[in-house]
Amino acid sequence: MKGIADRARTDKPAKNARDGYVTEHMVIACYQILERLAERAGDTETAEVARRNRADEEEMARRIDASWDRVLDLTLDEAGIRV
């Protein structure tokens, strides 16, 4: 039923961006935890990989953050609302 309801929704761009933003921050938190654990364990290689991966996720979160106006425009356009 959710799939059918999702097709009828007009807020997909906003929901997708919101969900992506939340997911990026959850992944960032995971990499922060992994990095700190690796550092405590003396595993500098894993800590560095976690740091690099976290930086990628932070960049994606920044890109989403910079696109909220575009997301809103797409959402309103999809709903047939002209402003």
pLDDT tens for the chain, residues 1 to 83: 556 555 556 689 999 999 999 999 999 999 999 999 999 999 999 999 999 999 999 999 999 999 999 999 999 998 888 87
Q: Who contacts 82 (Cβ-Cβ below 8 Å, separation ≥6)?
A: 76
pTM score: 0.80
Residues, the chain, total?
A: 83
Dihedral angle sign, alpha carbons of residues 75, 78, 81, 83: positive
Report the alpha-carbon distance of residue 3 to residue 61 in Å, rounded: 26
Question: 51: which 2 tokens?
Answer: 């740091």
How much is the pLDDT for 11?
80
Report the alpha-carbon distance of residue 72 to residue 55 in Å, rounded: 26
